[in-house]
Structure 1
Amino acid sequence: MARLIIRHETRYTYERPVGFAPHRLLVRPRDSHAIRIVRAALTLSPPGATRWLYDALGNSVCWFTPRGEASSLSIVSELTIERYPAPLSPVPVRDPQTATPIVYDHTDRAVLSPFIEPVSEDRDGVLLQWLRGQVGRPDEPALDFLLRLNTAIHDGFDYQSRDLGAAQDPSHTVALGSGTCRDFAWLMVEALRRVGYAARFVTGYLYCPEHSGIRGAGATHAWCEVFLPDLGWTEFDPTNAIAESSDLIPVAVTRTPAEAAPVTGAIYGDGGESRLTVHVDVRPAESIPAAA
């Protein structure tokens, strides 16, 4: 078990005061057997009405409507959590559902089908050609294949930090040979869907111990979850070639990256030039000095 403190600050500033439409916040993990929320605080400026709900995928969503007009919008989420990673143990190969191609039980498949169907285009076959080079022997255990693909993306692509902008199309990431964490996560999700796996896009936070070599800390992070018979939804982070790690702190799971933004909303009026700053800090709870 790891106890961590997370501070996630999002701040928008404008040249002139503006009004605010409702904003959708995805900043709070859902309590589960893998994560327990010890403390949660949300500081909002300007203040306004909040309403909490679970969306269709079980994500904890806060709808926030700031009151009045202001030249800035600040959203600060502070969490203390306990993280319990699941052990990543091999599934017996004698089960035919654990070999490639993957086979899901029909009751599972009814639920998983939206995560099996690819979303992105690959008109020139760039992604498919790359994927063919990753597929191994037909009897390779699914877990072995997933770990190998996770490592192949980490080793075969250059990591480049990019704070803003949508995730690249997977075919573009392959052609470019580089990307950021959301690009690599989306590449793995869409590649696996093309060979019949149920995969989904995950956003959250990443604990990065000093000198660990972990990539993608200091901001929100993204990785991939794959559904496996007998193991369920299993985490793979191709940015760092890790799986089922306590360093990964999931907040939201979605079908596409566009649905996973931590903050979405709109403003009323002409605010002129705007600026967005985001800061994320994840540290062990014991590193915080006790109150006097």
Structure 2
Amino acid sequence: MRYRVRHITEYSYGAPVSLCYNMAHLLPRDTHNQRCIYQKVQINPPPVYQSEGEDYFGNQTFYFSIQEAHKKLVIDVRTDFEISAIDVTALLKNSLLTCGELRALLDMPTTPELRMAKEYLLDSPQIRRSDDLKDYAQSLFTDQACVLQAAMDFTHKIFSEFKFDPNTTTVATPLEQVLKQRSGVCQDFAHLAIGCLRSVGIPARYMSGYLETLPPPGQEKLVGADASHAWFAVYTPEFGWVEFDPTNDVMPNEQHIVTAWGRDYADVSPLQGVIFEGGGSQQLSVSVDVRRV
């Protein structure tokens, strides 16, 4: 499957900004089943400095600075991907490693991959392990349960027991509040799942990207109707990192496009930076369009 993605981020400021420095996670990364074949970044006003690189997690980044007064900043990113299908049914069927066996391997890691995976058992800027999170998940992640099947069952549990509601949380909403109110958005559900998994000793990381959405039969797809999406991945020595989407109760496949991964949203936020002088009130507008080519 081939996709074309256009992601437009627009900031409007109440007062002119004289100078800004920014780092963006908007460029796609190659994975075992995804390959980027084209990418183009346009920034207005034009930056005086721009460079691309990689962060600690291997995600593509680009840095830029604008040194002229501006009341609007527009970042227009266009990318083309090729994505191959994953036999997720076979993954679940052929996975034999139990949660108890995985925890034992992590206690005495013998490979670089296991040692690196232990990083995703620790607390991170937006995710803290807790007894409440452990209590919510531990019945599914017993020592005898297969890791991937337990993760799929847990994905279904979140999907069934939580309501998607963009009006009940913000980027800073604590996981305990999300757990209590049983509502949130994809970022909340990914953070919740990761916090629960780490609390029961299973490595989990945050996945950021896009999800193709298809219109009802007979209706035209609206430009810009897609959005950034978040899900999580679990590590096993058998298959590496395996992804799960609790917002949609699926294992991601051809319709999920990965841009970045990290410990939580703070590691991979689409745009972060600083502005000098001016700014005042600001409005953010984001438009994402994902199309099959």
Residue 126 of structure 1 is matched in structure 2 by: 132
SS in 1 for 2:29: coil
- Equivalent pair of 2:169/2:185 in contact (CA under 8 Å): no
More divergent stretch after superposition (158-167 vs 112-121) = 158-167
Give CA deviations for 1:42-67 in whole Å, capped at 9, x if unaligned.
11001112111111110000011123
Which residue identity is paired with 1:208?
A: T
Which residue identity is paired with 2:122?
A: E
SS in 1 for 2:87: coil
**Where does the alignment leave 5 or more consecutive residues of structure 1 unmatched?**
286-292
CA separation of 1:14/1:60 partners in 2, compared to 1, >3 Å: closer, same or farther? same
Instruction: Note the 1:102-251 alignment, pairs <5 A.
Output: 102-103=102-103, 104=105, 105-107=109-111, 108-119=113-124, 120-121=127-128, 125-132=131-138, 134-135=139-140, 137-161=142-166, 165-166=170-171, 168-211=173-216, 218-251=226-259
- Equivalent pair of 1:17/1:71 in contact (CA under 8 Å): yes
More divergent stretch after superposition (155-164 vs 7-16) = 155-164
Give CA deviations for 1:106-153 in whole Å, capped at 9, x if unaligned.
213211121012343466x43233223x42553221111011001110
- Structure 2: how far apart are the matches of 1:46 and 1:122? 42
SS in 2 for 1:161: coil
- Structure 2: how far apart are the matches of 1:192 and 1:137? 12
Residue identity (%): 27
- Equivalent pair of 1:46/1:67 in contact (CA under 8 Å): no
**TM-score when scaled to structure 1?**
0.87
- Structure 2: how far apart are the matches of 1:15 and 1:164? 26
Deviation at 1:3, TM superposition (A): 0.8
Deviation at 1:167, TM superposition (A): 5.1
- Structure 1: how far apart are the matches of 2:202 and 2:136? 17
- Equivalent pair of 1:87/1:244 in contact (CA under 8 Å): no
Give CA deviations for 1:213-255 in whole Å, capped at 9, x if unaligned.
xxxx722111001111221111101000110311111111111
Computed over aligned residues only, the root mean square deviation of the Cα atoms, in angstroms, reads 2.1
CA separation of 1:266/1:77 partners in 2, compared to 1, >3 Å: closer, same or farther? same
SS in 2 for 1:242: coil
CA separation of 1:181/1:162 partners in 2, compared to 1, >3 Å: closer, same or farther? farther
**TM-score when scaled to structure 2?**
0.87
**Where does the alignment leave 5 or more consecutive residues of structure 2 unmatched?**
218-224
- Equivalent pair of 2:20/2:67 in contact (CA under 8 Å): no
